[in-house]
């Protein structure tokens, strides 16, 4: 397969969005040959690839074949034991595919390697040596960051650092004023204290969030079994599992958790649950035989932390602790740092922008102050004031509260967010790498098709949860009888009130599917079985590949029924029943085999059913049957049909996948299941659409080799783990960039991680879903990891950022919609908050440059940013989307910023200026009504603030004491504050829409109206509450002074309506769209 991509890419180029993330040195990867009778013919070779990135960011691939290359980097390493320092190796090392040989070498060689004995086990002395050589059977915990460092990080990261800077500068300004004049106003002191408390409270909240989510390694530790039964010095001992060493001989029985990676020495019907490691829902049989070169596929290995579901066995420990399969997954998961979320990067970018604006303003007016003759200490105090005025102190509160509210809203829709910033990340994602079992499917095997009377019938449950009527179908009665009798599965007691599909079953997944099917089609299975008492049984095993039972029939005869692997059952049958007639099997064998292939190509597990009445003369009731003597089968078995089952898709998943496709999100299946099963489910749920064929399907339709098909002609691809292992980094990037519909099957945890990293190299925001331990590294690496709440392991939940309580892929679409909406609404919130910054800043600038009495006090400014503006900003998080946000392409984090130049320009330069004019108009009105004309206010600052001047004359000659001037100044501060509050009404309303007419959305969010009432109530409380107002430098103001804001309120709405009207009427004015759409 890789060679196909090589051939194609000699003639092609790839454009990558972020070329700085794709520069990779030349690497040469040793090929891994296929083995087995069905392996395709392929030479073992080495492919070398150099990437040449031109100035436009285009990759021009050039390949060379070089089998003699000495500089090879292998992705696989031969592993013959476990070094105790494996966890100190880099994550890159752990990510390499592990090639082990202890499942394939001769048992004697393996025992010699570990100085062990199959019967005697290890001696105590040798056990001590092996522990020193290979390490202990424990998972080494990663280095933990001390809690106090974690807490400090929450206090100084991102926006918090900007607020600390503002707080420290406020304290510096207060101290400087105290030094300068001795009796400084407490405004800056109050501001510094308020900002410090704000950062501390929000830091504690963030610390709690991070502390509760940083327990990934603890969940791995819970996987470790506590005790193990071993043979030491020819004695069977029960020892702590942590004391196991490589070379120990352990005993396994039903219900045990496998205490280490072991090679099976002997077993009786042993089956293990590998679902958390490989995604396979079926119990996996174990045997002493090496059945596959791939250690994950062979039956003679059992892995640490998996559970024994059936049978007993004995095995040789071949890996312990960090050297086990689980240990390597733990190393992958805990050894990597979680990348910053898009929202974190947006906040960091916003902090840089605001800091830049604040510093530029501050330095500019510091210089202006010096040129105007101010002392350097005064100029420094002005510098501090300007910087603090530029900081939107309420933004951190707003961000935290809005993200928390959205997380709560998503929790009601079965999406629990563990990291608040992950709320928006899901909305930004452009790729979803989804596990199959339990996420796209129900993790519940069900009967899908039956073949009776030479007809293939769909027996899937209908929308109303019922089966098609099969009672009158010729031959169906015989098939259902064989299925009902040849089964050990039973329903658990006390479930009569539940529907049949919901009832729990004692039995494996296949048995459960058959029992539910027969119960729904035949009726009460237990009552039916009572009519056919069981006389003899041979359970299913991997050698026979069938299950057989003999039952009493018509009091005097014996009925044998069998089910199992179809090829095995077909070969044992001499006859076949078609309708009411019995035919020779030789006439129908090709039809049977073709039917098995057809059903298998659907990704379904096929089972054959047969029965036969034994001659009463030879096998009367009471005959002693034996598993050693199967002559009674010869010539007596009649094939009655075939059945196939599959883990069906969850209802709603196909629609969810289609919604993702419309939203520009690529859904990729990444599973440990077989390629045929993965392809079938991918087609059922729409990941692979009907119009797109894979190379395998095209080759089959043309009856040619798939390697003759150019991959570039296929939009869809199904790639196995073996094929993926052969691809170089650049070949994988080509696959990910050029196939719109992709399924990865039979992949390892390391490969899942490599797939995620591949998409991230292409500049994609990647979401990963999973429920097993094997998914945890990819969940951790993804931009957002999504675990399953019901079927998910503790490890996967701890590694994830979000948990789906209903295990339903459809819930992800809800999360995407919420994520996109929160980004849109956060943009509105920021614009709303920044508009008041100009109105807060300009009074201070004019105070410096024109030397007028200060129009707005620090406490009033703080009351706006941390008081009246908080409720309106939060109310914007409840806004409904403008237009269909789920038919837009995902945003590009490099271009579509939360805070843009257009947003800042419009907020500061248009709406902010109007609000500032409104505040100054009110200020001038009050001053003139009290005798101070505008022309006389200029250059009056020094006399105004001096406590030694108690006879300052106004424009009409009236004298004012210092206390009277102070009360008039407080009145101006209060009126300016109230004016800004009223202007923010209009600002809030226009913030609801970025392009649509306001009247369409004026009343669709009642919380906005509540917020308007709330902020006004806060303003009135501060203004008119006796005692409180004077203590905070407020004064009661006349009602008429509230009305001065009204013309400016309408001006704000009118100005923004014109902006939005032109955006709608002139979509082709690119310059206008670029400058005025934020």
Q: Please report the DSSP string for 25-49 in residue order.
A: --EEEE-----STTPPP----EEEE
* Range in 42-56, 434-448, 732-746, 960-974 the model is least confident about: 42-56
Higher pLDDT, 1030 or 160: 1030
- With beta carbons less than 8 A apart as the criterion, state whether 660 and 667 touch: yes
The pair of three-digit structure tokens given for residue 975, joined into one six-digit string: 């009126």
Q: What tokens appear for 710 in the block? A: 């150019």
Q: Say whether pLDDT at 1056 is over 80.
A: yes
Query: Is 876 domain-assigned?
Result: yes
The SS3 assignment for 547 reads strand
Q: What tokens does 721 get?
A: 């783990």
Closest-CA residue to 263 (of 324, 316, 319, 320): 316
Q: Give a yes or no: residue 918 inside a domain.
A: yes
Q: What is the mean pLDDT of residues 443-470?
A: 83
Q: What is the CATH number of the domain that holds 297?
A: 2.70.150.10
Listed range (210-214, 821-825, 904-908) with the worst mean pLDDT: 210-214
pLDDT at residue 194, rounded to an integer = 82
Which among 268, 299, 334 is the end of a domain? Answer: 334
Decide if 801 contacts 784 (C-beta within 8 A). Answer: yes
For residue 423, the model assigns a pLDDT of 78
Q: What is the CATH classification number for the domain harbouring 842?
A: 1.20.1110.10
For residue 72, give its domain range: 2-79
Average pLDDT value for residue range 447-475:
82
CA-to-CA separations, 691 to 686, 694, 697, 714, in angstroms, rounded? 11, 10, 12, 11
pLDDT reading at 840 higher than 80: yes
Mean pLDDT of the 306-311 span: 83
Residue 764 falls within a domain, yes or no?
Answer: yes
Backbone angles phi, psi at 611, to 5 degrees: -150, 170
Strand partners, 432: 667, 767
Question: 210: pLDDT confidence band, cut at 50, 70 and 90?
Answer: low
- The distance from CA 401 to its chain's CA centroid, rounded to whole angstroms, is 22
pLDDT of res. 14: 35
Higher pLDDT, 921 or 322: 921
Give CA–CA dist 825/831, Å, rounded: 10
Domain at 436, CATH number: 3.40.50.1000
Residues 816 and 804: their CA atoms lie apart, in Å, by 13
Query: What average pLDDT does the structure give for the chain?
Result: 81
Residue-level pLDDT at 960: 94
Nearest residue to 538 via CA among 520, 563, 514, 521? 563
**In 3-state terms, the chain is what percent helix, strand and coil (to 5)?**
50, 15, 35
Least confident of 360-364, 887-891, 961-965: 360-364
Nearest to 789 by CA among 803, 770, 808: 803
b vs e for 84-97, b when ≥16 Cβ sit within 10 Å of the residue's Cβ?
bebbeeebeebbeb
Enumerate the H helices of 158-268 as residue ranges.
159-181, 187-213, 216-221
Q: Compute φ and ψ for 828, nearest 5 degrees.
A: -65, -40
Is residue 142 predicted with pLDDT exceeding 50? yes
Q: Confidence band (pLDDT; 50, 70, 90) for 181? A: low
Q: Report pLDDT digits (tens) over 251-306.
A: 998 878 889 999 999 988 888 887 767 666 667 889 998 988 888 888 999 998 88
Lowest mean pLDDT among 74-78, 597-601, 818-822: 74-78
The pLDDT, as a whole number, for residue 157 is: 67
Quick check: is 341 in a domain?
Answer: no
d(CA 142, CA 75): 24
Query: Domain holding 499: CATH number?
Result: 3.40.1110.10
For residues 93 and 17, state if they share a domain: no
Reported residue count of the chain is 1078
Average pLDDT rounded to a whole number, residues 957-966: 93
3-class secondary structure for 295-335? Answer: CCCCCCEECCCCEEEEEEEEEEEEECHHHCHHHHHHHHHHC
Where does the pLDDT of residue 143 fall: very low under 50, low under 70, confident under 90, or very high at 90 and above? low
Q: Which of 286, 314, 334 is the last residue of a domain?
A: 334
Are 120 and 52 in the same domain?
no
Per the residue annotation, which of 435, 508, 647, 733 is the catalytic one?
A: 435
pLDDT in tens, 335-386: 666 667 777 778 778 877 877 888 888 888 888 888 887 778 777 777 777 7
Over residues 941-953, mean pLDDT: 89
Q: Residue 281 and residue 647: Cα distance in Å, rounded?
A: 9
Q: Which of 232-241, 581-590, 666-675 has the highest mean pLDDT?
A: 581-590
Structure token digits, residue 163: 């607020």
Number of domains in the chain: 5
For 549, 668, 762, the CA distances from 514, given in Å and listed in that order, are: 16, 31, 45
CA atoms of 688 and 618, how far apart (whole Å): 56
pLDDT of residue 221: 52
Residue among 739, 740, 801 at smallest CA distance from 770: 801
Taking a C-beta distance cutoff of 8 angstroms, is the pair 314, 276 a contact?
no
In a domain, 286, yes or no: yes
The pLDDT value given to residue 978: 97
Q: Tell me: do 864 and 1000 sit in the same domain.
A: yes
Q: Is the pLDDT of residue 215 over 70?
A: no
Residues 604 and 661 in one domain: no
User: Mean pLDDT lowest for which of 86-95, 108-117, 433-442, 758-767?
Assistant: 86-95
Domain presence at residue 984: yes
741-775 pLDDT, tens digit per residue, is 999 998 887 888 899 999 999 999 999 988 777 78
Q: 864-898 b/e with 16+ CB inside 10 Å = b?
A: bbbbbbbbbbbbbbbbeebeebbeeebbebeeebb
Residues 520 and 664 in one domain: no
For residues 454-458, give the mean pLDDT. Answer: 91
- Asked if the structure places residue 411 within a domain, the reply is no
435 tagged catalytic:
yes
793 with 663, same domain? Answer: yes
468 and 422 both lie in a single domain: no
Torsions phi, psi of 816, nearest 5? -60, -45
Which of 792, 816, 840 terminates a domain? The answer is 816
Q: What is the largest CA-CA distance in the chain?
A: 136
- Percent of the chain surpassing pLDDT 70: 86
Q: How far apart are CA 340 and CA 758, in angstroms?
A: 17
Residue 187 CA to residue 856 CA, distance in Å, equals 11
Give the start-end residues of each E strand in 958-1001.
959-960
pLDDT at 664: 93
One domain for residues 452 and 498? yes
Tell which residue, 774, 773, 796, has the closest CA to residue 786. 796
Residue 12: pLDDT above 60?
no
Q: Is residue 349 part of a domain?
A: no
Two structure tokens written together for 672: 């440990």
Looking at the fold, whether 97 and 43 belong to one and the same domain comes out as no
| Region of residue 1040 (left: phi > 0; alpha: psi -120 to 50; beta: else) | alpha
- 552-581: per-residue pLDDT in tens? 988 788 999 999 999 999 999 999 999 888
* CA-wise closest residue to 671 among 662, 659, 680: 680
Give every CB contact of residue 632 below 8 A, 6+ residues apart in sequence: 560, 614, 618, 619, 625
Instruction: Note the pTM of the prediction, 2 decimals.
Output: 0.74
First to last CA, the chain: 46
Same domain, 788 and 850: no
Q: Are residues 667 and 709 in the same domain?
A: yes
Look up residue 36 and give its two tokens: 């087995």
- Please check whether residue 952 is in contact with residue 944, taking contact to mean a CB–CB distance below 8 angstroms: yes
Nearest to 687 by CA among 740, 650, 735, 737: 740
Residues in CB range of 909: below 8 A, 6 or more apart: 838
Domain co-membership, 801 together with 830: no
Q: Residue 12 corresponds to which tokens in the numbers above?
A: 């092609």
Instruction: Indicate the range of 44-48, 580-584, 626-630, 988-992 predicted with least confidence.
Output: 44-48
């Amino acid at each position: 397969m890789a060679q196909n991509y090589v051939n194609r890419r000699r003639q092609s180029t790839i454009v990558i969005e972020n070329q700085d993330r794709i520069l990779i040195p030349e690497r040469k990867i040793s090929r891994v040959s296929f083995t087995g009778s069905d392996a395709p013919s392929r030479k073992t070779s080495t492919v070398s690839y150099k990437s040449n990135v031109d100035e436009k960011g285009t990759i021009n691939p050039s390949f060379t074949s070089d089998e003699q290359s000495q500089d090879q980097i292998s992705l696989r390493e031969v592993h013959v034991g476990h070094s105790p320092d494996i966890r100190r190796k880099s994550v890159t090392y752990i990510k390499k595919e592990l090639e082990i040989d202890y499942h394939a070498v001769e048992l004697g060689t393996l025992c010699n390697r570990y100085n062990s004995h199959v019967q005697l086990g290890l001696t105590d002395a040798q056990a001590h040596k092996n522990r020193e050589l290979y390490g202990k059977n424990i998972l080494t915990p990663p280095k933990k960051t001390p809690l106090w460092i974690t807490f400090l990080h929450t206090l100084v990261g991102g926006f918090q650092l900007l607020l600390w800077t503002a707080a420290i500068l406020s304290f510096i300004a207060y101290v400087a004023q105290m030094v300068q004049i001795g009796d400084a106003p407490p405004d800056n002191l109050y501001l510094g204290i308020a900002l410090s408390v704000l950062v501390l409270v929000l830091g504690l909240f963030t610390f709690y969030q991070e502390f509760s989510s940083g327990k990934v390694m603890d969940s791995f530790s819970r996987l470790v079994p506590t005790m193990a039964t071993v043979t030491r010095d020819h004695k069977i001992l029960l020892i702590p599992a942590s004391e196991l060493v490589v070379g120990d001989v352990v005993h396994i029985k039903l219900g045990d958790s496998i205490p280490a990676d072991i090679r099976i020495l002997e077993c009786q019907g042993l089956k293990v649950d590998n679902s958390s490691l490989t995604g396979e829902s079926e119990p996996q049989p174990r045997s002493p035989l090496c059945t596959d070169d791939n250690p994950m596929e062979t039956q003679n290995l059992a892995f640490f932390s998996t559970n024994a579901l059936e049978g007993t066995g004995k095995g040789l420990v071949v890996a312990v602790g960090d050297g086990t399969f689980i240990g390597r997954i733990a190393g992958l998961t805990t050894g990597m740092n979680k990348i910053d979320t898009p929202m974190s990067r947006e906040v960091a970018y916003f902090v840089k922008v605001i800091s830049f604006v604040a510093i530029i303003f501050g330095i500019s007016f510091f210089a202006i102050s010096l040129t105007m003759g101010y002392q350097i200490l005064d100029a420094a105090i002005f510098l501090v004031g300007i910087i603090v005025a530029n900081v939107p102190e309420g933004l951190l509160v707003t961000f935290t509260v809005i993200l928390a509210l959205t997380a709560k809203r998503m929790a009601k829709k079965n999406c629990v967010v563990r990291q608040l910033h992950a709320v928006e990340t899901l909305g930004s994602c452009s790729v979803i790498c989804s596990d199959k079992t339990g996420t796209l499917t129900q993790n519940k095997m069900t009967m899908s098709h039956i073949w009776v009377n030479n007809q293939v019938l769909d027996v899937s449950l209908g929308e109303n949860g019922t089966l098609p009527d099969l009672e009158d179908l010729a031959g169906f009665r015989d098939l259902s009888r064989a299925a009902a009798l040849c089964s050990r599965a039973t329903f658990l007691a006390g479930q009569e009130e539940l529907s049949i599909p919901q009832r729990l079953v004692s039995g494996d997944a296949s048995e459960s599917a058959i029992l539910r099917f027969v119960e729904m089609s035949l009726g009460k299975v237990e009552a039916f079985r009572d009519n056919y008492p069981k006389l003899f049984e041979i359970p299913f095993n991997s050698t026979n590949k069938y299950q057989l039972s003999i039952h009493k029939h018509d009091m005097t005869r014996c009925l044998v029924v069998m089910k199992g692997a179809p090829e095995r059952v077909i070969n044992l049958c001499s006859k076949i029943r078609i309708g009411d007639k019995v035919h020779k099997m030789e006439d129908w064998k090709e039809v049977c085999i073709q039917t098995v292939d057809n059903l298998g190509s659907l990704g379904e597990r096929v089972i054959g059913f047969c029965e036969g009445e034994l001659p009463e003369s030879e096998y009367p009731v009471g005959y002693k049957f034996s598993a050693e003597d199967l002559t009674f089968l010869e010539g007596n078995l009649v094939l009655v049909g075939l059945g196939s089952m599959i883990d069906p898709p969850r209802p709603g998943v196909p629609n969810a996948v289609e919604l993702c496709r419309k939203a520009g999100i690529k859904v990729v299946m990444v599973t440990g299941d077989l390629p045929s099963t993965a392809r079938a489910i991918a087609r059922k749920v729409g990941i692979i659409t009907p119009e797109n064929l894979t190379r395998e399907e095209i080759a089959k339709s043309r009856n040619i080799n798939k390697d003759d098909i150019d991959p570039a002609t296929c939009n869809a691809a199904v790639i196995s783990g073996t094929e993926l292992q052969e691809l170089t980094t650049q070949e994988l990037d080509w696959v990910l960039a050029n196939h719109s519909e992709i399924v990865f099957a039979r992949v390892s945890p390391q490969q899942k991680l490599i797939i995620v990293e591949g998409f991230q190299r292409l500049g994609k925001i990647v979401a990963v879903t999973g429920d097993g331990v094997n998914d945890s590294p990819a969940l951790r690496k993804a931009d957002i990891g999504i675990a399953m709440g019901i079927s998910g392991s503790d490890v996967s939940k701890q590694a994830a950022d979000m948990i789906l309580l209903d295990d339903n892929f459809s819930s992800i679409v809800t999360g995407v919609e919420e994520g996109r909406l929160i980004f849109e609404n956060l943009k509105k919130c920021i614009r709303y908050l920044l508009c008041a910054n100009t109105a807060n800043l300009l009074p201070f600038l004019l105070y410096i440059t024109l030397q007028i009495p200060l129009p707005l006090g620090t406490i009033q400014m703080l009351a706006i940013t941390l008081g009246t503006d908080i409720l309106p900003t939060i109310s914007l998080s409840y806004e409904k989307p403008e237009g269909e946000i789920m038919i837009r392409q995902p945003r590009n984090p490099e271009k579509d910023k939360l805070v843009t130049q257009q947003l800042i320009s419009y907020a500061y330069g248009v709406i902010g200026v109007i609000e500032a004019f409104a505040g100054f108009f009110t200020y001038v009105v009050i001053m003139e009504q009290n005798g101070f004309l505008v022309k006389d206010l200029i250059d009056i600052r020094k006399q105004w603030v001096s406590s030694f001047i108690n006879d300052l004359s106004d424009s009409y000659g009236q004298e004012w004491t210092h206390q009277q001037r102070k009360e008039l100044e407080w009145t101006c501060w209060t009126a300016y504050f109230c004016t800004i509050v009223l202007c923010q009404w209009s600002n809030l309303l226009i913030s609801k829409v970025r392009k649509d007419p306001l009247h369409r959305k004026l009343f669709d969010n009642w919380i906005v109206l509540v917020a308007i009432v709330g902020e006004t109530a806060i303003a009135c409380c501060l203004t008119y509450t006796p005692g409180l107002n004077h203590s905070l430098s407020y004064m009661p103001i006349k009602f008429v002074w509230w009305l001065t804001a009204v013309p400016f309120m309408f001006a704000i709405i009118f100005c923004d309506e014109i902006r939005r009207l032109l955006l709608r009427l002139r979509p082709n004015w690119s310059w206008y769209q670029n400058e005025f759409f934020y």
